[in-house]
């Protein structure tokens, strides 16, 4: 196993700058989530690490080995594709064994490792099936098995779970995390699903327009976003209108900063909570969704959102004046 170092990578497609001087370090054995809107360069970064693109400038190291000029097939990576890319003309066992056969692993060892890896992804009984005979979740497991069977230095996942429906996706997230921890492989994955990024990663990198915005553990990035984009992209942010700043307990000077509160940090009531930061607003809508509820509130003309357990929200007048309050330490400050 080994970490991956990306230093000052620049990649253009024609005139478009897909990666703009990106430097980021992927720790050995870590699960690193690359998160960003479409066109942010996250997939390009993953595919550049894989070797499908050669960068115009910069260095890439997998372990101790510089690989920026090494072709894909010699980088010793495992990759899982968004559509799984299983070979339709091969059985599950042959799909998983492909990388072993290419490396001329002896037949007996090949069989043993295919069986071991299929057991690891809990597909033991399906070795002889064709991809067309598998469910979406099973295909996903085959794709994962195929990517890790050769013990690659790094595992690259391109939107690994986006093709699955929601309940299956949550199961697979847990499964993926378990397998990654079992084999301890350095893993980099691309997603546009912030919840998935928070669930799976022990580090997150947020990209925007070909640049790294912020890198850190999920909690740190969520609690202390470095700028307005990071605050709004990972989780939701209620921005405090400038006209309301007076009288609030703020973590930084109002000059040169903007302030936000996460929807789940808010409490709602019909009177202000004087011990905490409080703002007056007008309740627009209360949406019941089982255990949780969402309230849409207008604060000085800007739309706010509150998320809480439904039982924690008091009875409110149908629509009208309400007070929102939050602990001072829950205020997020970013440079304006």
Partner 1 sequence: MTRAALPLLGRLWLALILVFLYAPILVMAAMSFNASPFYQLPFEASTVWYEKMSANPQILAAALRSVLIALATTLIATTLGTMASIALFRYDFPGKRVLQVLLFPPIAIPWLITGTAMLIFFFAVGIGRGTPAVIIGHVALALPYVIVTVTARLSSFDITLEEAARSMGAGAWTVLRRVTLPWIAPGVVAGALFAFAVSFDQFVVSYFLSEPGDSTLPVLIYTAIRKGFTPEINAISTLIITLSMTVMVLAARYSRLGGDR
DSSP 89: T
Q: Single out the residue of 8, 16, 66, 102 in contact with partner 1 (rule: CB under 8 A).
A: 102
Q: How far apart are CA 75 and CA 69, in angstroms?
A: 10
Q: Are 150 and 179 in contact (CB under 8 A)?
A: no
Q: Which is nearer to partner 1, 55 or 99 (CB)?
A: 99
CA nearest to 151, candidates 193, 115, 183, 190: 183
Stretch that binds partner 1, among 142-150, 265-273, 281-289, 323-331 (CB under 8 A): 142-150
Out of 85, 244, 267, 307, point to the residue binding partner 1 (CB under 8 A): 85
Alpha-helical (H) ranges within the chain are 42-50, 92-102, 107-120, 136-148, 166-183, 194-200, 218-223, 228-233
Binding to partner 1 (CB under 8 A) within 47-66 occurs at 50, 52
Q: 13 or 288: whose CB is closer to partner 1?
A: 13
What separation in angstroms does the CA of 307 have from each of 193, 267, 301? Answer: 19, 9, 19
Q: 230 φ, ψ to 5°?
A: -60, -40
Residues in the chain: 336
Nearer to partner 1, 83 or 270 (CB): 83
Smallest separation, CB 60 to partner 1 (Å)? 15
Residue 160 lies near partner 1 (rule: CB under 8 A): no
**Window contacting partner 1 (CB under 8 A); options: 53-61, 73-81, 260-268, 272-280:** 73-81
Least distance to partner 1, CB of residue 307, Å: 38
Q: With binding defined as CB under 8 A, does residue 103 bind partner 1?
A: yes
Write out the residues near partner 1 by the rule CB under 8 A.
50, 52, 71-74, 76-79, 81, 83, 85-89, 98-99, 102-103, 146-147, 150, 156
């Amino acid at each position: 196993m080994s970490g991956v170092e990306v230093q000052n990578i620049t990649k253009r497609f024609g005139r478009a700058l897909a990666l703009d001087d990106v430097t980021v370090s992927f720790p050995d054995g870590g699960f690193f989530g690359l998160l960003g809107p479409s066109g942010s360069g996250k997939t390009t970064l993953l595919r550049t690490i894989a070797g499908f693109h050669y960068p115009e400038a910069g260095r890439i190291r997998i372990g101790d080995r510089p690989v920026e000029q090494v072709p894909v097939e010699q980088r010793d990576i495992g990759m899982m594709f968004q559509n799984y890319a299983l070979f339709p003309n091969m059985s599950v066992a042959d799909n998983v064994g492909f990388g072993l056969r290419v490396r001329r692993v002896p037949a007996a060892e090949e069989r043993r490792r295919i069986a071991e890896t299929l057991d690891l992804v809990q597909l033991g009984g399906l070795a002889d099936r064709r991809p067309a005979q598998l469910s979406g979740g099973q295909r996903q497991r085959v794709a994962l098995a195929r990517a890790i069977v050769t013990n690659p230095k790094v595992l690259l996942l391109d939107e690994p779970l986006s093709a699955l429906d929601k309940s299956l996706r949550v199961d697979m997230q847990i499964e993926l995390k378990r397998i990654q921890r079992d084999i301890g492989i350095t893993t980099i994955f691309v997603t546009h699903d912030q919840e998935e990024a928070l669930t799976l990663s022990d580090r997150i990198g947020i990209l925007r327009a070909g640049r790294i915005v912020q890198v850190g553990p999920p909690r740190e990035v969520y609690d202390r976003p470095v700028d307005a984009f990071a605050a709004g992209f990972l989780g939701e942010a209620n921005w405090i209108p400038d006209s309301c700043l007076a009288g609030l307990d703020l973590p930084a000077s109002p000059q040169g900063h903007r302030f936000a509160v996460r929807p789940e940090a808010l409490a709602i009531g019909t009177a202000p909570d004087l011990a905490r930061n409080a703002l007056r607003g007008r309740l627009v809508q209360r949406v019941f969704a089982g255990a949780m509820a969402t309230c849409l509130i207008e604060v000085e003309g800007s739309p706010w959102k509150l998320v809480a357990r439904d039982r924690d929200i008091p009875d409110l007048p149908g629509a009208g004046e309400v007070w929102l309050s939050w602990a001072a330490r829950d205020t997020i400050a970013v440079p304006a």
